[in-house]
Chains A and B, each alone.
Chain A
Amino acid sequence: VKRIVRMIIKFICFISLLYAAWMPVQNLITYKWNVREHLYDRYRHFEAEPEGSIDILFSGSSPVNGGINPVIVYHEIGATGYNFGATHKTAFCSYYDLKYAFKHHVPDLLVLDLADIHIDKAPNESSTWETAYRKYIENMPDPLIRLEMIFAYQKEFGMNQVMDHLFPLLRYHARWNNLTEDDFKRDPFSYEGYEDFVKGTYMNQAAVNLTGRDAFTDEEVTPASDLSIRYYDKILDLCKKHGVEVMIAVVPKLEMHPAYMADAVEYAKKNNLNVLYYPDKEAFNAAGISEKDCFYNVGHMNVRGQVPYSKAVAAAIKEWYDLEDHRGDPAYAAWDDAYEQYINKYGVYVSKMNEEVNEDESDPD
Protein backbone atom coordinates (compact mmCIF):
# COMPACT_ATOMS: atom_id res chain seq x y z
CA VAL A 1 0.00 0.00 0.00
CA LYS A 2 2.85 2.34 0.91
CA ARG A 3 4.43 1.67 -2.46
CA ILE A 4 1.21 2.36 -4.31
CA VAL A 5 0.61 5.60 -2.39
CA ARG A 6 4.16 6.71 -3.16
CA MET A 7 3.65 5.89 -6.79
CA ILE A 8 0.38 7.85 -6.93
CA ILE A 9 2.01 10.87 -5.27
CA LYS A 10 4.89 10.69 -7.70
CA PHE A 11 2.47 10.44 -10.59
CA ILE A 12 0.49 13.48 -9.42
CA CYS A 13 3.71 15.47 -8.98
CA PHE A 14 4.85 14.51 -12.44
CA ILE A 15 1.54 15.45 -14.05
CA SER A 16 1.57 18.79 -12.20
CA LEU A 17 5.07 19.55 -13.44
CA LEU A 18 4.14 18.52 -16.94
CA TYR A 19 1.12 20.82 -16.79
CA ALA A 20 3.29 23.66 -15.51
CA ALA A 21 5.64 23.18 -18.45
CA TRP A 22 2.83 22.65 -20.94
CA MET A 23 0.85 25.82 -20.18
CA PRO A 24 3.47 28.45 -21.12
CA VAL A 25 4.11 26.62 -24.36
CA GLN A 26 0.37 26.37 -25.02
CA ASN A 27 -0.10 30.08 -24.31
CA LEU A 28 2.68 30.93 -26.72
CA ILE A 29 1.78 28.58 -29.55
CA THR A 30 -1.86 29.36 -29.88
CA TYR A 31 -4.45 30.34 -32.47
CA LYS A 32 -3.71 33.36 -34.62
CA TRP A 33 -6.37 36.03 -35.17
CA ASN A 34 -5.93 39.15 -37.26
CA VAL A 35 -6.30 41.42 -34.22
CA ARG A 36 -5.17 40.88 -30.66
CA GLU A 37 -8.35 40.79 -28.65
CA HIS A 38 -6.98 39.67 -25.30
CA LEU A 39 -10.22 37.88 -24.65
CA TYR A 40 -9.04 36.04 -21.58
CA ASP A 41 -7.82 39.19 -19.88
CA ARG A 42 -11.03 41.01 -20.74
CA TYR A 43 -12.97 38.25 -19.03
CA ARG A 44 -10.72 38.52 -16.01
CA HIS A 45 -11.15 42.31 -15.85
CA PHE A 46 -14.89 41.79 -16.01
CA GLU A 47 -14.70 39.33 -13.12
CA ALA A 48 -12.67 41.88 -11.16
CA GLU A 49 -15.43 44.52 -11.30
CA PRO A 50 -17.01 44.95 -7.83
CA GLU A 51 -19.80 42.50 -7.18
CA GLY A 52 -23.25 43.67 -8.35
CA SER A 53 -21.79 46.80 -9.92
CA ILE A 54 -22.66 46.04 -13.56
CA ASP A 55 -26.10 47.22 -14.71
CA ILE A 56 -25.84 46.55 -18.43
CA LEU A 57 -24.03 44.00 -20.53
CA PHE A 58 -23.42 44.83 -24.17
CA SER A 59 -23.06 41.61 -26.10
CA GLY A 60 -22.65 40.61 -29.72
CA SER A 61 -20.11 40.60 -32.46
CA SER A 62 -17.40 43.15 -33.37
CA PRO A 63 -19.77 46.02 -34.33
CA VAL A 64 -20.96 46.24 -30.74
CA ASN A 65 -17.40 45.90 -29.47
CA GLY A 66 -16.29 49.03 -31.34
CA GLY A 67 -19.64 50.84 -31.25
CA ILE A 68 -20.75 51.11 -27.62
CA ASN A 69 -18.63 52.57 -24.86
CA PRO A 70 -20.04 51.82 -21.36
CA VAL A 71 -18.16 54.78 -19.90
CA ILE A 72 -20.08 57.17 -22.17
CA VAL A 73 -23.34 55.40 -21.35
CA TYR A 74 -22.54 55.82 -17.65
CA HIS A 75 -21.77 59.49 -18.16
CA GLU A 76 -25.12 59.93 -19.93
CA ILE A 77 -27.50 57.99 -17.68
CA GLY A 78 -25.49 56.80 -14.69
CA ALA A 79 -25.89 53.09 -15.49
CA THR A 80 -22.73 51.02 -15.44
CA GLY A 81 -21.93 48.46 -18.13
CA TYR A 82 -19.39 46.18 -19.69
CA ASN A 83 -18.80 45.48 -23.35
CA PHE A 84 -18.79 41.76 -24.10
CA GLY A 85 -18.65 42.11 -27.87
CA ALA A 86 -15.82 40.58 -29.88
CA THR A 87 -15.07 39.68 -33.46
CA HIS A 88 -17.02 36.86 -35.12
CA LYS A 89 -18.95 36.19 -31.96
CA THR A 90 -21.78 34.01 -33.15
CA ALA A 91 -24.98 33.36 -31.21
CA PHE A 92 -23.46 30.06 -30.06
CA CYS A 93 -20.42 31.79 -28.55
CA SER A 94 -22.51 34.67 -27.13
CA TYR A 95 -24.73 32.19 -25.34
CA TYR A 96 -21.85 30.53 -23.47
CA ASP A 97 -20.14 33.86 -22.80
CA LEU A 98 -23.32 35.12 -21.18
CA LYS A 99 -23.61 31.97 -19.11
CA TYR A 100 -20.15 32.73 -17.84
CA ALA A 101 -20.90 36.45 -17.39
CA PHE A 102 -24.06 35.81 -15.35
CA LYS A 103 -22.05 33.63 -12.98
CA HIS A 104 -20.14 36.75 -11.95
CA HIS A 105 -22.47 39.69 -12.49
CA VAL A 106 -26.16 39.46 -13.22
CA PRO A 107 -26.99 42.77 -14.92
CA ASP A 108 -30.42 44.40 -15.14
CA LEU A 109 -30.24 44.69 -18.88
CA LEU A 110 -28.62 42.91 -21.79
CA VAL A 111 -28.10 44.98 -24.92
CA LEU A 112 -27.76 42.39 -27.64
CA ASP A 113 -26.52 42.98 -31.16
CA LEU A 114 -27.65 40.44 -33.76
CA ALA A 115 -24.93 41.15 -36.32
CA ASP A 116 -24.27 37.41 -36.69
CA ILE A 117 -27.90 36.47 -37.20
CA HIS A 118 -27.06 35.13 -40.66
CA ILE A 119 -23.95 33.29 -39.58
CA ASP A 120 -24.38 29.59 -39.93
CA LYS A 121 -20.79 28.76 -40.70
CA ALA A 122 -19.53 25.45 -39.44
CA PRO A 123 -16.01 25.49 -38.00
CA ASN A 124 -14.88 22.86 -40.44
CA GLU A 125 -15.82 25.07 -43.40
CA SER A 126 -12.71 27.18 -43.11
CA SER A 127 -9.80 27.69 -40.77
CA THR A 128 -11.05 31.25 -40.10
CA TRP A 129 -14.32 29.97 -38.75
CA GLU A 130 -12.64 27.22 -36.83
CA THR A 131 -10.44 29.83 -35.14
CA ALA A 132 -13.46 32.09 -34.60
CA TYR A 133 -15.14 29.41 -32.52
CA ARG A 134 -12.00 28.15 -30.87
CA LYS A 135 -10.90 31.55 -29.58
CA TYR A 136 -14.01 31.72 -27.44
CA ILE A 137 -13.70 28.17 -26.25
CA GLU A 138 -10.01 28.44 -25.47
CA ASN A 139 -10.29 31.75 -23.66
CA MET A 140 -13.28 30.77 -21.57
CA PRO A 141 -11.97 31.08 -18.00
CA ASP A 142 -14.68 28.92 -16.43
CA PRO A 143 -13.60 25.28 -16.84
CA LEU A 144 -17.10 23.82 -16.51
CA ILE A 145 -18.63 26.17 -19.07
CA ARG A 146 -15.65 25.52 -21.28
CA LEU A 147 -16.26 21.79 -21.09
CA GLU A 148 -19.95 22.29 -21.80
CA MET A 149 -19.03 24.48 -24.74
CA ILE A 150 -16.60 21.88 -26.10
CA PHE A 151 -19.19 19.12 -26.04
CA ALA A 152 -21.92 21.37 -27.47
CA TYR A 153 -19.50 22.37 -30.23
CA GLN A 154 -18.77 18.74 -31.08
CA LYS A 155 -22.48 17.97 -31.15
CA GLU A 156 -23.64 21.03 -33.11
CA PHE A 157 -21.00 20.76 -35.79
CA GLY A 158 -20.39 17.02 -35.87
CA MET A 159 -16.77 17.44 -34.79
CA ASN A 160 -14.56 14.94 -33.05
CA GLN A 161 -11.86 17.09 -31.53
CA VAL A 162 -12.34 16.93 -27.78
CA MET A 163 -8.67 16.30 -27.01
CA ASP A 164 -7.33 19.24 -28.93
CA HIS A 165 -9.94 21.49 -27.36
CA LEU A 166 -8.86 20.41 -23.94
CA PHE A 167 -5.23 20.87 -24.92
CA PRO A 168 -5.20 23.46 -27.72
CA LEU A 169 -1.46 23.04 -28.17
CA LEU A 170 -2.26 19.77 -29.92
CA ARG A 171 -4.18 21.77 -32.53
CA TYR A 172 -1.84 24.70 -33.01
CA HIS A 173 1.51 23.02 -32.34
CA ALA A 174 2.58 23.40 -35.98
CA ARG A 175 2.66 27.16 -35.44
CA TRP A 176 6.00 26.83 -33.67
CA ASN A 177 7.83 27.58 -36.89
CA ASN A 178 6.05 30.83 -37.62
CA LEU A 179 6.23 32.47 -34.25
CA THR A 180 7.16 36.13 -34.49
CA GLU A 181 8.57 38.59 -32.01
CA ASP A 182 5.05 39.83 -31.47
CA ASP A 183 4.02 36.47 -30.03
CA PHE A 184 6.49 36.89 -27.18
CA LYS A 185 5.20 40.35 -26.20
CA ARG A 186 3.21 40.62 -23.02
CA ASP A 187 -0.45 41.40 -23.20
CA PRO A 188 -0.75 45.22 -23.44
CA PHE A 189 -4.26 45.14 -22.06
CA SER A 190 -3.22 43.48 -18.85
CA TYR A 191 0.09 45.07 -18.25
CA GLU A 192 0.04 48.50 -19.79
CA GLY A 193 -3.39 49.73 -18.77
CA TYR A 194 -6.27 50.65 -21.01
CA GLU A 195 -4.38 50.90 -24.26
CA ASP A 196 -6.87 49.31 -26.61
CA PHE A 197 -9.93 48.58 -24.51
CA VAL A 198 -12.19 50.58 -22.19
CA LYS A 199 -14.54 48.43 -20.11
CA GLY A 200 -14.24 45.84 -22.85
CA THR A 201 -14.80 48.32 -25.72
CA TYR A 202 -12.31 48.26 -28.56
CA MET A 203 -10.84 51.75 -28.94
CA ASN A 204 -9.81 51.92 -32.57
CA GLN A 205 -8.51 55.37 -33.45
CA ALA A 206 -8.23 54.95 -37.21
CA ALA A 207 -10.77 56.63 -39.48
CA VAL A 208 -11.65 55.99 -43.08
CA ASN A 209 -13.72 58.33 -45.17
CA LEU A 210 -16.53 56.16 -46.46
CA THR A 211 -18.64 58.98 -47.85
CA GLY A 212 -20.69 57.73 -50.75
CA ARG A 213 -21.04 54.23 -49.48
CA ASP A 214 -24.70 53.52 -48.98
CA ALA A 215 -25.24 50.31 -47.10
CA PHE A 216 -28.97 50.57 -47.51
CA THR A 217 -28.80 50.01 -51.23
CA ASP A 218 -27.13 46.65 -50.73
CA GLU A 219 -29.65 44.17 -52.00
CA GLU A 220 -27.94 40.97 -50.85
CA VAL A 221 -30.38 38.86 -48.87
CA THR A 222 -29.24 35.94 -46.73
CA PRO A 223 -31.80 33.99 -44.75
CA ALA A 224 -31.42 34.10 -40.98
CA SER A 225 -29.58 31.09 -39.68
CA ASP A 226 -31.57 28.45 -37.82
CA LEU A 227 -28.56 27.77 -35.61
CA SER A 228 -28.25 31.44 -34.69
CA ILE A 229 -31.96 31.83 -34.02
CA ARG A 230 -31.87 28.74 -31.82
CA TYR A 231 -29.00 30.15 -29.77
CA TYR A 232 -30.51 33.64 -29.58
CA ASP A 233 -33.62 31.94 -28.23
CA LYS A 234 -31.44 30.20 -25.65
CA ILE A 235 -29.97 33.57 -24.71
CA LEU A 236 -33.48 34.93 -24.15
CA ASP A 237 -34.32 31.91 -21.98
CA LEU A 238 -31.12 32.40 -20.02
CA CYS A 239 -31.92 36.07 -19.43
CA LYS A 240 -35.47 35.18 -18.41
CA LYS A 241 -34.07 32.68 -15.93
CA HIS A 242 -31.83 35.33 -14.39
CA GLY A 243 -34.41 38.10 -14.58
CA VAL A 244 -32.39 40.12 -17.08
CA GLU A 245 -34.25 42.36 -19.52
CA VAL A 246 -33.16 42.31 -23.15
CA MET A 247 -32.88 45.10 -25.66
CA ILE A 248 -31.85 44.56 -29.27
CA ALA A 249 -29.45 47.02 -30.87
CA VAL A 250 -28.86 46.93 -34.61
CA VAL A 251 -25.43 48.57 -34.51
CA PRO A 252 -24.81 50.75 -37.59
CA LYS A 253 -22.52 49.25 -40.19
CA LEU A 254 -21.82 50.41 -43.70
CA GLU A 255 -22.14 46.88 -44.94
CA MET A 256 -25.41 46.57 -43.12
CA HIS A 257 -27.73 45.25 -45.77
CA PRO A 258 -31.48 45.48 -45.33
CA ALA A 259 -31.89 41.75 -44.70
CA TYR A 260 -29.74 41.82 -41.57
CA MET A 261 -31.63 44.75 -40.18
CA ALA A 262 -35.01 43.33 -41.17
CA ASP A 263 -34.29 39.96 -39.59
CA ALA A 264 -32.99 41.53 -36.39
CA VAL A 265 -36.00 43.82 -36.13
CA GLU A 266 -38.35 40.96 -36.92
CA TYR A 267 -36.71 38.80 -34.25
CA ALA A 268 -37.01 41.61 -31.69
CA LYS A 269 -40.66 42.22 -32.50
CA LYS A 270 -41.47 38.52 -32.45
CA ASN A 271 -40.09 38.32 -28.93
CA ASN A 272 -41.58 41.64 -27.78
CA LEU A 273 -38.18 43.22 -27.30
CA ASN A 274 -37.29 46.86 -27.69
CA VAL A 275 -35.06 47.44 -30.67
CA LEU A 276 -32.84 50.38 -31.50
CA TYR A 277 -32.20 50.65 -35.22
CA TYR A 278 -31.89 53.15 -38.02
CA PRO A 279 -34.20 52.28 -40.90
CA ASP A 280 -32.29 54.41 -43.39
CA LYS A 281 -29.15 56.42 -43.95
CA GLU A 282 -30.77 59.68 -42.98
CA ALA A 283 -31.78 58.25 -39.61
CA PHE A 284 -28.30 57.30 -38.60
CA ASN A 285 -26.84 60.50 -39.98
CA ALA A 286 -29.36 62.35 -37.85
CA ALA A 287 -28.03 60.50 -34.79
CA GLY A 288 -24.65 62.10 -35.49
CA ILE A 289 -23.00 59.05 -37.08
CA SER A 290 -21.19 60.14 -40.20
CA GLU A 291 -19.63 57.98 -42.92
CA LYS A 292 -16.83 60.52 -43.12
CA ASP A 293 -15.08 59.95 -39.81
CA CYS A 294 -17.01 57.52 -37.59
CA PHE A 295 -15.77 54.22 -39.00
CA TYR A 296 -12.44 52.49 -39.12
CA ASN A 297 -13.76 50.15 -41.75
CA VAL A 298 -17.12 49.36 -43.36
CA GLY A 299 -18.32 47.22 -40.51
CA HIS A 300 -17.03 48.96 -37.40
CA MET A 301 -17.20 52.32 -35.66
CA ASN A 302 -14.15 53.98 -34.20
CA VAL A 303 -13.72 56.05 -31.01
CA ARG A 304 -15.38 58.97 -32.76
CA GLY A 305 -18.37 56.97 -33.95
CA GLN A 306 -18.96 55.32 -30.59
CA VAL A 307 -19.64 58.73 -29.00
CA PRO A 308 -22.94 59.51 -30.76
CA TYR A 309 -23.95 55.88 -30.89
CA SER A 310 -23.29 55.25 -27.17
CA LYS A 311 -25.31 58.39 -26.43
CA ALA A 312 -28.14 57.10 -28.60
CA VAL A 313 -28.06 53.73 -26.83
CA ALA A 314 -28.02 55.51 -23.45
CA ALA A 315 -31.03 57.61 -24.47
CA ALA A 316 -32.94 54.53 -25.62
CA ILE A 317 -32.16 52.71 -22.37
CA LYS A 318 -33.31 55.70 -20.36
CA GLU A 319 -36.51 55.83 -22.34
CA TRP A 320 -37.38 52.12 -22.17
CA TYR A 321 -35.91 50.91 -18.87
CA ASP A 322 -35.82 52.08 -15.33
CA LEU A 323 -32.18 51.73 -14.33
CA GLU A 324 -30.74 53.34 -11.26
CA ASP A 325 -28.63 56.45 -11.81
CA HIS A 326 -25.36 56.01 -9.90
CA ARG A 327 -23.83 59.34 -10.78
CA GLY A 328 -22.73 61.15 -7.66
CA ASP A 329 -22.87 57.95 -5.60
CA PRO A 330 -19.48 57.66 -3.84
CA ALA A 331 -19.65 53.88 -4.25
CA TYR A 332 -19.45 54.44 -8.02
CA ALA A 333 -16.72 57.07 -7.95
CA ALA A 334 -14.47 54.72 -9.92
CA TRP A 335 -16.82 55.14 -12.90
CA ASP A 336 -16.46 58.92 -12.76
CA ASP A 337 -12.71 58.39 -12.70
CA ALA A 338 -12.99 56.03 -15.65
CA TYR A 339 -14.85 58.68 -17.63
CA GLU A 340 -12.23 61.26 -16.73
CA GLN A 341 -9.47 58.91 -17.84
CA TYR A 342 -11.36 58.28 -21.04
CA ILE A 343 -11.70 62.02 -21.75
CA ASN A 344 -8.05 62.62 -20.93
CA LYS A 345 -6.93 59.92 -23.26
CA TYR A 346 -9.43 60.14 -26.11
CA GLY A 347 -11.34 63.43 -25.67
CA VAL A 348 -9.00 65.61 -27.68
CA TYR A 349 -8.60 62.94 -30.28
CA VAL A 350 -12.34 62.50 -30.67
CA SER A 351 -12.89 66.21 -31.12
CA LYS A 352 -10.09 66.45 -33.66
CA MET A 353 -11.12 63.50 -35.72
CA ASN A 354 -13.26 65.53 -38.07
CA GLU A 355 -10.16 67.36 -39.22
CA GLU A 356 -7.73 64.42 -39.38
CA VAL A 357 -9.83 61.84 -41.12
CA ASN A 358 -8.00 59.54 -43.44
CA GLU A 359 -9.00 60.33 -47.00
CA ASP A 360 -8.05 56.88 -48.15
CA GLU A 361 -11.22 54.93 -48.66
CA SER A 362 -9.55 51.57 -48.47
CA ASP A 363 -10.29 49.28 -45.58
CA PRO A 364 -7.36 49.43 -43.10
CA ASP A 365 -8.20 46.03 -41.58
Chain B
Amino acid sequence: MDVKVLTFGIIKDITGSGLLHVDIPEGANVGELLRTMIVLYPDLRGIKSIAVAIDNVYATQDTSIAHNVEVALIPPVSGG
Protein backbone atom coordinates (compact mmCIF):
# COMPACT_ATOMS: atom_id res chain seq x y z
CA MET B 1 0.00 0.00 0.00
CA ASP B 2 1.04 3.60 -0.54
CA VAL B 3 1.74 5.59 2.63
CA LYS B 4 2.22 9.34 2.86
CA VAL B 5 5.39 10.16 4.82
CA LEU B 6 6.34 13.65 6.00
CA THR B 7 10.01 14.37 6.65
CA PHE B 8 11.74 17.13 8.58
CA GLY B 9 15.19 18.49 9.35
CA ILE B 10 18.09 16.30 8.34
CA ILE B 11 15.75 13.59 7.05
CA LYS B 12 14.22 16.04 4.58
CA ASP B 13 17.73 16.98 3.43
CA ILE B 14 18.63 13.30 2.90
CA THR B 15 15.44 12.34 1.08
CA GLY B 16 15.26 15.59 -0.87
CA SER B 17 11.55 16.09 -0.18
CA GLY B 18 9.28 16.94 2.73
CA LEU B 19 6.56 14.62 1.42
CA LEU B 20 7.19 11.09 0.18
CA HIS B 21 4.93 8.31 -0.99
CA VAL B 22 6.36 4.98 0.15
CA ASP B 23 5.14 1.55 -0.84
CA ILE B 24 4.92 -0.87 2.12
CA PRO B 25 3.14 -4.21 2.53
CA GLU B 26 -0.46 -4.14 3.75
CA GLY B 27 -0.49 -4.09 7.58
CA ALA B 28 3.22 -3.24 7.89
CA ASN B 29 4.39 -1.70 11.15
CA VAL B 30 6.63 1.25 11.93
CA GLY B 31 9.77 -0.90 12.18
CA GLU B 32 9.15 -2.28 8.70
CA LEU B 33 8.59 1.21 7.30
CA LEU B 34 11.89 2.37 8.81
CA ARG B 35 13.75 -0.61 7.30
CA THR B 36 12.22 0.22 3.92
CA MET B 37 13.26 3.86 4.27
CA ILE B 38 16.85 2.87 5.07
CA VAL B 39 17.00 0.68 1.97
CA LEU B 40 15.71 3.59 -0.12
CA TYR B 41 17.92 6.19 1.59
CA PRO B 42 21.01 4.52 3.14
CA ASP B 43 22.30 7.85 4.50
CA LEU B 44 19.51 7.68 7.11
CA ARG B 45 21.82 5.26 8.98
CA GLY B 46 23.96 8.23 9.98
CA ILE B 47 21.19 9.80 12.07
CA LYS B 48 21.34 9.35 15.84
CA SER B 49 17.72 8.23 16.10
CA ILE B 50 14.50 8.42 14.11
CA ALA B 51 11.15 8.63 15.86
CA VAL B 52 7.92 8.05 13.99
CA ALA B 53 4.62 9.81 14.57
CA ILE B 54 1.29 8.65 13.23
CA ASP B 55 -1.39 11.32 13.04
CA ASN B 56 0.69 13.59 15.31
CA VAL B 57 1.29 11.00 18.05
CA TYR B 58 4.59 9.25 18.72
CA ALA B 59 4.39 5.58 17.69
CA THR B 60 6.50 2.53 18.59
CA GLN B 61 8.23 0.05 16.28
CA ASP B 62 5.28 -2.34 16.68
CA THR B 63 2.57 0.17 15.76
CA SER B 64 0.88 -0.93 12.55
CA ILE B 65 0.27 1.60 9.84
CA ALA B 66 -3.33 1.89 8.70
CA HIS B 67 -4.62 3.33 5.45
CA ASN B 68 -4.87 7.10 5.13
CA VAL B 69 -2.80 7.99 8.18
CA GLU B 70 -0.21 10.75 8.20
CA VAL B 71 3.21 9.33 9.03
CA ALA B 72 6.06 11.63 10.05
CA LEU B 73 9.74 10.74 10.38
CA ILE B 74 11.18 12.74 13.24
CA PRO B 75 14.95 13.17 13.63
CA PRO B 76 16.35 14.13 17.05
CA VAL B 77 14.60 17.33 18.06
CA SER B 78 16.55 20.47 18.94
CA GLY B 79 14.08 23.23 19.74
CA GLY B 80 14.52 25.84 22.43
**Do these two chains really belong together in a complex?**
no
CB within 8 Å of A: which residues of B?
none
CB within 8 Å of B: which residues of A?
none
